[in-house]
Amino acid sequence: MAQLDSEFAVEGSSVSREWSGQVQPALVATFVFLFCLEACLWVRNLRLKRRLPGPFAWPLVGNVMQLGHMPHITLARLAKKYGSVYQIRLGRSDIVVLNGERAIRQALIERGADFAGRPDFASFQQISGGRSLTFTSYSQQWKAHKKLAQSTLRAFSSANTRTQRAFEQHVTGEAVELVQVFLRRGADGRCFNPAHDFTVSAANIMCALCFGARYGHDDAEFRALLKRIERFGETVGAGSLVDVMPWLQSFPNPVRSGYENFKNLNEEFFAFVSSKVGQHRETFDPDVTRDMSDAIIHRIEHDKDSGLSAEFVEATVADLIGAGQDTVSTVLQWIVLLLVKHPDVQAQLHQLLDRVVGPDRLPSLEDRRRLPYLDAFIYEAMRFTSFVPVTIPHSTTADVSVEGLRIPKDTVVFINQWSVNHDPLKWRDPHVFDPSRFLDASGALDRDAAGGVMIFSTGRRRCAGHQVARVMVFLFTAVLLHQCRLEGDPREPPRLDCSYGLSLKPVHISVGARLRGKLLGPVSPA
């Protein structure tokens, strides 16, 4: 068998060299042709069109090579030279970049409708059958879709006291389950990476809201599905190469392979959601609303005034689950990492919870006003990490001016939220992790400072579930801290290294968990 394998390898190598010898000259010739064609168009555009301030852009690739592995930092540095509104070029696409609170708020709030579009990117068309609320462009249909999503979320999380309590019970129950998972994984002083456990917990809350069902942390099929979804943001983040250089799909290369993989992952997730929605359609009773899927089916398929076709049911549910689990699970990863890295902060939070809540019950939303330092810690974690550094790309819907500079209609716009959260003119020592910056002189939460953190975007494209996400993050953090002492791995000091995508995620977390006092719960979701 070994000999056969060896012979096959030699033969395969020979075929590979022959194929390579035939194909490589064609690829080189194609590249040279494209480069020359782009160079001619680049010179022509330079003569015919006034560019905004910005760095020199090379033909064919533009400024792609300059952005590096952390584009948000590069974009902020370029703003120091070219101003808060400038232009870069990615592939053949001119991109306007907005940095700083003044320019971003002028665009997204004062001229919100003019910046509410989405580019016609190839990756965007693959998401939720091209009907994703997050990735489709601005229109009357989009406004009806967002209104539906927001009202449904509100109805199941904060519409009245009963729904608020039911939602809180869902979240607290999942938080208690997570504590038990942590204690099992951390038994005998072992350290572990909690990243995927956070993903399962956050997705379970959205599945409970959407489908009336949850999945165990050790459910192999569910964990495998979520593992694939976690790679979703690697393709749709700002500056995805397949979107700005579509010609990369024309020949074999790593970008094309990654894009094909992204399409497969998206189709698999959408098929999972579609199967669950299909089951709801088969058992639908207009007089009984079991969960958000029922509510969305009723609004879209049984309300003639919804303005949306039946296919928007699956798209809406997919958006709610996908966006909800990614945002919450990512910030919780950073929160745990920062708690381990700053044990003094963790000790102060433990003391606060012991004083306000005590050992005999779990924290609740009613405790929030008496836990200002916990809220301050969460806001500082979001500001410091700025884990959604650049929003999903916008597109202008009309000719518009920002900071006195004209931006034509249908221009792709990058919103650099990181530049707002790390502006030294806005924040004292922005590179320093300091939760106390969000407390006023009396020790209460400084709501003006908290409102200055930009993580869920703002204006018309602000995340529809931002309020739900904030509640989830607060309760998860409060319950986890109340029940556990989190410790770092003595063999591996905590580092803040991260990978760039739709969100910034820690490269690796190694943490131990010990029970503080007695184990409380579990709380069964209502």
Binding site members for heme: 463
Tell how far CA 374 is from the center of its chain: 23
DSSP sequence for 453-474: --SS--GGGS-TTHHHHHHHHH
Output the six-digit token pair for 471: 């509640």
Peptide bond into 55 cis (omega under 30): no
Backbone torsions φ then ψ of 521, nearest 5 degrees: 95, -160
Which of 274, 474, 499 lies closest to 373 in space, CA to CA?
A: 474
Cα Rg, the chain, nearest whole Å: 25
CA distance 56 to 62: 8
Q: Which residues line the annotated binding site?
A: 463
Q: Which residues neighbour 211 within 8 Å (Cβ) at sequence distance 6 or greater?
A: 276, 280, 291, 293
What's the length of the chain?
526
Cβ-contact 203, 321 below 8 angstroms: yes
Which amino acid type is present at position 206? M
CA distance 88 to 67: 10
Q: Which residues neighbour 440 within 8 Å (Cβ) at sequence distance 6 or greater?
A: 446
Which of 316, 291, 296, 320 lies closest to 306 in space, CA to CA?
A: 296
Which of 483, 514, 494, 475 lies closest to 184 in space, CA to CA?
A: 514
CA distance 66 to 87: 13
Cβ burial 380-413 (10 Å sphere, 16+ → b, else e): bbbbbbbbbbbbbbbbbbeebebeebebeeebbb
Output the six-digit token pair for 21: 């010898």
Cβ-contact 201, 476 below 8 angstroms: yes
Computed from CA positions of residues 260, 262, 263, 267, in that sequence, does the dihedral angle turn out positive or negative?
positive
Backbone torsions φ then ψ of 482, nearest 5 degrees: -65, -40
Cβ-contact 390, 418 below 8 angstroms: yes
Write the Ramachandran bin of 362: left for phi over 0, alpha for psi from -120 to 50, otherwise beta: beta
DSSP-derived secondary structure letter, 194: -
